[in-house]
């Protein structure tokens, strides 16, 4: 009886051993793929964070550009007011003030 069961048990154990070895071999072969998938996931998250950061930076630059434009127009208005004040008070307009207005107008016309 044991002699009859022994070959069956050997065959069963050999089959199970082959299955375990095949599973280990397949898992070993898949390891580079799994590692690459993990790294790719991390890189995708990092790229998303970088894009979000860039978009926020671009918004801030747009706001700064708008602020700069408002300040430049305000300075131009102040220069014109000062020049008009000099004219109404019959005082000479300084050449620096006239040159500042000219330079600012030139700069604004190029924008």
Q: Which pLDDT value is given to residue 38?
A: 92
Q: Residue 111: pLDDT band by 50, 70, 90 thresholds?
A: confident
Q: Which pLDDT value is given to residue 61?
A: 80
Cβ-contact 106, 79 below 8 angstroms: no
Where does residue 94 fall: left (phi above 0), alpha (psi -120 to 50 degrees), or beta otherwise? beta
Chain segment 91-102, per-residue pLDDT in tens: 888 888 889 988
Chain segment 34-69, per-residue pLDDT in tens: 889 999 999 999 999 999 888 887 777 888 888 888
Cβ-contact 72, 104 below 8 angstroms: yes
């Amino acid at each position: 009886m044991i002699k009859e069961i022994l070959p069956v048990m050997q065959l069963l154990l050999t089959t199970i051993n082959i299955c375990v070895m095949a599973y280990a071999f397949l898992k070993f072969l898949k390891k580079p793929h799994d590692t690459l998938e993990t790294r790719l996931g991390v890189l995708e998250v990092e790229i998303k964070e970088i894009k979000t950061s860039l978009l926020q930076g671009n918004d801030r630059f747009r706001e700064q550009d708008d602020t700069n434009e408002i300040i430049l127009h305000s300075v131009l208005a102040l220069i014109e007011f000062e020049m008009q004040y000099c004219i109404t008070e019959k005082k000479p307009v300084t050449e620096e003030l006239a040159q500042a207005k000219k330079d600012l107008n030139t700069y604004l016309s190029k924008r």
